[in-house]
Amino acid sequence: MARLNEHEGKALFKIAKMPIPQGDVAKTPEEARKIAEKIGKPVVIKVQIWTG
């Protein structure tokens, strides 16, 4: 099984012409709020924590 970062997986989906939900990266709650306002409802917030 291949180990991919999320951005690498999305790049492969794009090549395969698979739909990719709109998204962005926020480093603060304020940035997350601005991104959510830009995208519109519904939105999902996903936490990404690098380990290992």
Q: What is the pLDDT of residues 10-26, one digit of tens each?
A: 899 999 999 988 888 89
Q: What is the pLDDT of residue 1?
A: 64
pTM (2 decimals)?
Answer: 0.60
Query: Counting Cβ atoms within 10 Å, is residue 6 exposed (0-12), middle (13-18) or buried (19+)?
Result: exposed
Distances (CA, A) of 27 to 4, 9, 31, 35, 45: 22, 21, 7, 11, 12
**Rounded to an integer, what distance in angstroms lies between the CA atom of residue 21 and that of residue 30?**
21
3-state secondary structure of 23: coil
Q: What is the pLDDT of residues 24-46, one digit of tens each?
A: 889 899 999 999 999 998 899 88
Q: What is the pLDDT of residue 18?
A: 96
Enumerate the domain spans of the chain. Answer: 24-52
